[in-house]
Amino acid sequence: MQRLDRLLIVALGCAVAAPALSAPAPAPAQAGQARADAAPETQLCLENRALRAKELSATHGYYVRTSQGWWRNTGPACPAYGPNRALATQSTQNRQCRGDVVNVFDPFSRIQFGGCVLGAWERVSGPPKN
């Protein structure tokens, strides 16, 4: 390869790379603030012993609070969810995972309201205010 050909290849490489190198880097999110284009944090499972509080609503869904904050279950809408209802998971593991079925019941009368399929868990700021 001749010297002129090498110079031409180097010049073309610099011309292609220059716009990418001169583009400003996206600003990092400030502490406690998520970037608008960032995907929400998700998990496939939450440990039962990590659950500190729960909120069930047929319209808003299933929310739990852990030491890491609030999580929303992304499973399909479930009309069995409601306030003052309990969940029983049928799993060999001590956690609630995507695809698990939870049975919804009244903890005092033991009346069964049906089962619901769980989705993945998505971190949220908290359950919606009624």
Q: Mind listing the pLDDT tens digit of every residue in the chain (130 residues)?
A: 565 555 445 555 555 444 444 445 455 545 445 555 678 899 999 999 999 999 999 999 999 999 999 999 999 999 999 999 999 987 788 999 999 999 999 999 999 999 999 999 999 999 998 6
Q: Beta-strand (E) ranges in the chain?
A: 42-43, 45-47, 53-57, 61-66, 69-73, 86-89, 95-97, 101-105, 112-117, 121-124
Strand-pair category, 53-57 with 45-47:
unpaired
The pLDDT value given to residue 6: 57
**Predicted pLDDT at 36:** 59
Angle at 25 between CA 19 and CA 27, to 5 degrees: 155
